[in-house]
Amino acid sequence: MEKTFLMVKPDGVQRNLIGDITSRFEKKGYKLAGAKLMTIKEALAEEHYGEHSDKPFFGELVGFITSGPVFAMVWEGENVIATARQMMGATNPKDAAAGTIRGDYGVTVGKNVIHGSDSSESADREIKLFFDKAELITYEKDNLAWVY
Ligand code: DAT
Ligand code: MG
């Protein structure tokens, strides 16, 4: 089953949004495979956001994502990578539809509450970057028979 990497950013943690965000993916019908509260070190932040290293906002981005704890998660389900991106909304909260996470809770692009992998390649890379194999749990959930 497809897996994606999602992360409540430091602003979301400070603003008490871990529960709401986690709840959205749970209620949708996805399965949580791993989760942890962690503080990201600068080297990990730079590697995670490597594709943006030449952008003018890179320093600000690394500074922000390392500024406080994040809640890192791996979610599993059919088409979860693309659907989670839809549930997050556009990168800039001003363009994000109401009802999406960024549309409901974000105001500026620099503090947009949540990260989510944008492709299966990014998902594989980011899951490996943030989680050890042993931290990902394989288990059965009976109620998934009512999802699929
Ligand atoms: P996304 O997080 O939707 O995948 P991205 O990969 O283009 O977006 O950018 C990564 C993060 O960088 C984004 O969540 C917020 C920040 N960011 C993007 N564009 C920015 C900009 N123009 N100014 C400041 N921060 C920006
Ligand atoms: Mg991205």
Confidence of residue 29 (pLDDT cuts 50, 70, 90): very high
Confidence of residue 66 (pLDDT cuts 50, 70, 90): very high
Q: How far is CA 107 from CA 3, 29, 42, 103, in A?
A: 28, 28, 25, 8
pLDDT of residue 63: 98
Name residues whose C-beta falls within 8 Å of residue 32's C-beta, 6 or more positions apart in sequence: 22, 25, 26, 73, 74, 75, 76
Query: Ligand 1, residues 5, 92, 109: which to mutate, most atoms within 8 A of Cβ?
Result: 109
CA–CA separation, 31 and 135 (whole Å): 14
- Interface confidence, given as ipTM, is 0.98
Confidence of residue 108 (pLDDT cuts 50, 70, 90): very high
Confidence of residue 57 (pLDDT cuts 50, 70, 90): very high
Share of the chain above pLDDT 90, in %: 100
Is 32 touching ligand 1 by the criterion CB < 6 Å?
no
Mean pLDDT of 131-139: 97
Confidence of residue 81 (pLDDT cuts 50, 70, 90): very high
Supply the residue whose CA is at minimum distance from atom 7 of ligand 1.
91
CA–CA separation, 132 and 110 (whole Å): 29
CA of 12 to the centre of ligand 2 (A): 17
Write out the catalytic residue numbers: 115
pLDDT of residue 54: 98
DSSP state of 137: P
What values do phi and psi take at 85, rounded to 5?
A: -60, -40
* Whether this model's pTM surpasses 0.90: yes
Supply the residue whose CA is at minimum distance from atom 1 of ligand 1.
91
Per the annotation, where are the binding residues for ATP?
A: 9, 57, 85, 91, 102, 112
pLDDT of residue 19: 98
pLDDT of residue 47: 98
Confidence of residue 37 (pLDDT cuts 50, 70, 90): very high
Is 29 touching ligand 1 by the criterion CB < 6 Å?
no
CATH topology assigned to domain 3-146? Alpha-Beta Plaits (3.30.70)
Is 61 touching ligand 1 by the criterion CB < 6 Å?
yes
